[in-house]
Structure 1
Amino acid sequence: MAESVNPPLSYEASATTTHPHVATSLPSEVISCLKNSRFLHLATCDDKTPHISLMSYTYLPSTPYDPHPTIIMTTNPASRKTNHLLSNPRVSLLVHDWVSHRPPTRATTGDREGSPPPAATRSSLASLLLNLNTSALSSISTTICGEARFLEAGSDEESWCKDRHLENNTFEEEEINLFGQQQQDPNARRPSVVSIDTDVRVVTVRVTEGRIADWKGGVRDWVLLPTEGQDAGLVNGVSS
């Protein structure tokens, strides 16, 4: 019987540094993730329980206040993640830029329930997402490790970062009818109403190291060496 060409679900040992990449610039895959993703997952922990939050973010190669790649987020001062960060600023960020769609399994029998059910059928929308997932978008994710820093309330740095974050997370929305179809006039758009409360806390994470993982289970570690004079004119990899 011929051996399967597909790798195991986790085929590469990753307890130690794997295929290290050390450079003065971020790996292109990491830049792609930060450029294309809409959200990231922020992992925090107090002395007992880990916590994960889905976060809007802004990535900047540098800022007027920090020459290093920086990720900006905002959080409610009364949130669990804020309490975690105040007691333990060490965080992990997970960023991926593929469509989160799971195709049907090969199983055709059984009574199990879960993700996904056996003998799942693929809709036309699911097929479209799957095609996007495998062709137009990337197939890797990156974990970023670092320490979160609350910016001083009322400072120039907080005001500047808050403005950049607001600009980067305000989008035009297309009118969609109840059947999921775009309205007839393609030019008719309305701006999203986005604001940031005055008492919100602004958090930054300096990007220094992380790990790239592909959908096959392979991993590669990367470390960013410090450098000066980075371009501050990009927001999530796109010219502002």
Structure 2
Amino acid sequence: MSCPDILPEHVLSLLKTSKYVHLATCSKPECIPSIALMNYTYIPPSKVYVKEGEIGEPIERKHYIIIATQKDTAKYENIRQNPQVSILIHDWVTAKKLSLRKNSMSNTPTPEPQRSQDADHPSRLLNLLQELNQSELSQMSATMRGYAECIDPSHEEAKYYEAELLKANPDAAVFIQGNNIAVVKIELESAKVSDRENNTSFYD
């Protein structure tokens, strides 16, 4: 799988630095969809688990998303029944900064309107809304399809990826470690990337 090798650098950067992804799964045979916000870590080919004593195949440049989920959840059962999943990722940083600014402004006392200035200057709220629209539209979003596999918890591979997941999400140990939690690796297979002009590119 070489699909992510040709993804835009912005998307690869998001995979490496973002905190969350949206994970979509679907049951079989009922085809009931489910979506969840997940902590994750991105595993490029250079960090893919290789069994001790073995040499990884350089041709197989596989890219993975690693997640952990409780076994008594819909997404876990869905993955067991139907390993085909989708992942949505986008830039949360801009939205977070704008949200903080919005809250800050909402707590600021509103001065009495001045007729002489209102005619020439848009309100602060209007400026914020304009900036919000421009900032949100300036970002890319990527939807990636993949194949999910629950890793045998007794296997060293599960321990390896659990450690990588904890390293990327040290504040989420309660969601990553435990007897009722499964480590899941998702091999990325294809992607659809959209930009602010509603242009869409496909990679598979």
Instruction: State the superposition RMSD in angstroms.
Output: 3.3
Segments ≥4 residues shifted beyond 6 Å: none
CA separation of 1:70 and 1:22: change in aligned 2, threshold 3 A: closer
Partner Cα separation in structure 1 for residue 4 and residue 166 of structure 2: 31
Counterpart amino acid of 1:50? P
Query: Unaligned stretches of 5+ in structure 1?
Result: 1-20, 105-119, 171-191, 224-240
> 1:194 matched to which residue of 2?
173
Shift of 1:194: 3.2
Render the CA deviation track for 1:125-162: whole Å, top value 9, x for unaligned: x67x849x839x96001111011011012110000000
> 2:49 matched to which residue of 1?
64
Q: Identify which of 102, 112, 122 aligns with 2:125.
A: 122
Residue 28 (1) aligns with residue 9 (2)? yes
Counterpart amino acid of 1:122? L
| 1:13-92 superposed matches below 5 A | 24-46=5-27, 47-62=30-45, 63-65=48-50, 67-92=61-86
Query: Unaligned stretches of 5+ in structure 2?
Result: 51-55, 103-122
Shift of 1:25: 4.3
TM-score, normalised via structure 1 length: 0.58
Counterpart amino acid of 2:184? V
Residue 142 (1) aligns with residue 142 (2)? yes
TM-score, normalised via structure 2 length: 0.67
SS in 2 for 1:208: strand
Give 1 or 2: higher helix fraction. Answer: 2
> Percent identity at matched positions?
28
SS in 2 for 1:122: helix
SS in 2 for 1:215: coil
